[in-house]
Amino acid sequence: MVVGAQWGDEGKGKIVDLLAERFAWIARYQGGHNAGHTVVAGEQRFILQLIPCGILRPGCRAAIGNGVVVDPQALVDEIETLERAGVKVAGHLFVSWRAQVILPYHRMIELAAENAPGRVKIGTTTRGIGPAYEDKMGRRGLRIADLADADLLRAHIENAMAEKNAIAGALYGTAAVDAGKMFETYRELSRRILPYAADVSLLLNRAADAGEPILLEGAQGTLLDIDHGTYPFVTSSSTISGGACIGAGLAPTRIGGVLGVTKAYATRVGGGPFPSEENGASGDMLRERGREFGSVTGRPRRVGWLDLPLLRYAIQLNGIDSLLVTKLDVLDTLKEIPVCTGYRLDGKPAAEIPARAADWERLEPVYEVRPGWGTPTAGMRRLEDLPRAAREYLDFVAAQCGTEIGLISTGPERNESIIVPGSQLDRWWRGASSAA
Ligand code: GDP
């Protein structure tokens, strides 16, 4: 399984795309069409927001688990884009019957609420994902399976619209949306989607029984987890490894290992705590060199230094076996690289990650400044080619985290990667390759 060890955008897209070669299945277990991976396949560039990138590999199947919230329009658009590019989707894509459906009123409510006075701005992508999860937990959601029943779909939309129009009108002055038109549109979208609907949990369990390797792909990152992240500046689902069991319908005993992706520095999109944020000239440099602008929204990302207390927290929560460090090359021009090694709260060392929003504000990061290497690592593919200071930087991170580094990424392309010889990932990679 691959999870983001920071606030998302760690470069999971590239990593999953690289690893996909050794897997028969790639499955998503949470989130919606806000994940936004850019995947390059030959001459073509795709932004896949909902469908796992395994769809681009002929031998691989892509699954959308029950824990994902599915926007039918977004799904149909992605299927059509892929088909137009000659990718075979039928027979390769499976969407859980139990996944929740995002409807237009989710977006309407989210937009209105996010802009309402007095509300803490979370900085969501306003794709209706949060409200769809609210309806799921409120037991008034619509699932993919329900799309097969036109009467049920009509009744659901009519009832929901009566309620949502009343709420959005009363609270935010939003104009009412027509339920009849929505039903027609979603009836048509359902016809396009239902051929892909399946019991994804059953398929994955059967695949696991048959010894087929399955890669579970987390979206967003650990610090955006609904329970363990920087609440309320989080996403609406369980992003951590435990969430995969629920969101894919696979038991914990089925999970063979957890890979955690982190950048060699840190970024965050939207509001919320970011103790090691860098607002000065070095920050601008990281943003430019790292092209830190959202792949879905185009928003400039906040940038900062690697935060080891948070990385250790992510390792603990996910049970990360191996860290995969991306974007090392972005640090190439720096003379010195600060790394946050701990925090102080009210002048005393803080041992725990705060639960109270107010405590985050008072947290002071403690930095250790590591020497930079000042030479290009971009595109390097062998550990021994890395400059000594770059290796020492990585060794320092691994020692401070008590976890091995299994992979170092030095550029956006698949092959701009170093699988660290002797690491667990390396052993597995070579074993899987000889088996394949
Ligand atoms: P994800 O949501 O975790 O997949 O992350 P994003 O796709 O938002 O961000 C990763 C971006 O960084 C993509 O544009 C990648 O092509 C790029 N990228 C990934 N790894 C590296 C790397 O090692 N070096 C550089 N320079 N870019 C990278």
Q: Residue 231 is part of which domain span? A: 2-91+199-430
Whether 435 is in a domain gets the answer no
My answer on whether 182 and 69 are in the same domain is no
Q: Percentage of the chain surpassing pLDDT 90?
A: 79
Ligand 1 and 38: CB distance under 6 A: yes
Question: What CATH number is associated with residue 161?
Answer: 1.10.300.10
pLDDT-derived band at 122, boundaries 50, 70, 90: low
Tokens of 267: 């970024």
Q: Does some domain include residue 436? A: no
**Beta carbon of 410 within 6 Å of any ligand 1 atom:** yes
- Same domain? For 279 and 399 the reply is yes
Q: Ligand 1 mean position to 152 CA, how many Å?
A: 42
Q: How far is CA 38 from the centre of its chain?
A: 12
Q: Are 341 and 276 in the same domain?
A: yes
Cα 11 to ligand 1 centroid, rounded to whole Å:
4
Residue 433 pLDDT greater than 70, yes or no: no
- Mean per-residue pLDDT over the chain, rounded: 93
Report d(CA 292, CA 47) in Å as an integer: 16
Domain identity same for 189 and 302: no
Nearest CA to ligand 1 atom 8: 9
CA of 268 to the centre of ligand 1 (A): 14
Tens-place pLDDT, residues 59-107: 899 999 999 999 999 999 999 999 998 899 999 999 999 999 999 999 9
20 and 131 within one domain: no
CA 264–ligand 1 middle distance (angstroms): 12
Same domain, 241 and 133: no
> Is 104 domain-assigned?
yes
Q: Is the CB of 301 under 6 A from ligand 1?
A: no
8-state DSSP, 328: G
**Structural domain count of the chain:** 2
Q: Calculate mean pLDDT across residues 126-142.
A: 95
Chosen domain end from 170, 196, 222 = 196
The domain boundary residue, chosen from 196, 228, 254: 196
Q: Which residue has the higher pLDDT, 433 or 280?
A: 280
User: Which of 14, 262, 303, 333, when mutated, tests ligand 1's pocket best, judged by the most ligand atoms within 8 Å of its CB?
Assistant: 14
Same domain, 189 and 204: no
Within-domain flag for 338: yes
* CA of residue 10 to ligand 1 center, whole Å: 7
Type of residue at 357: A
Residue 10 CB–ligand 1 contact under 6 Å: yes
pLDDT digits (tens, 9 = 90+) for 158-205: 999 999 888 888 888 888 888 999 999 999 999 999 999 999 999 999
- Supply the pTM of this predicted model: 0.94
The last residue of one of the domains, among 179, 196, 213, is 196
Residues 191 and 204 in one domain: no
Q: Which residues are catalytic?
A: 9, 37
Same domain (yes/no): 34, 170: no
423 and 282 assigned to the same domain: yes
Task: Give residue-wise pLDDT tens across range 236-274.
Answer: 999 999 999 999 999 999 999 999 999 999 999 989 999
- For the ranges 27-41, 102-116, 418-432, the maximum mean pLDDT occurs at 418-432
Mutate to test the pocket of ligand 1, among 17, 297, 327 (most ligand atoms within 8 A of CB): 327
Residue 325 shares a structural domain with residue 209: yes
Domain assignment of residue 410, yes or no? yes
Ligand 1 in contact with 37 (CB < 6 A)? yes
- The reply to whether 354 and 410 lie within a common domain is yes
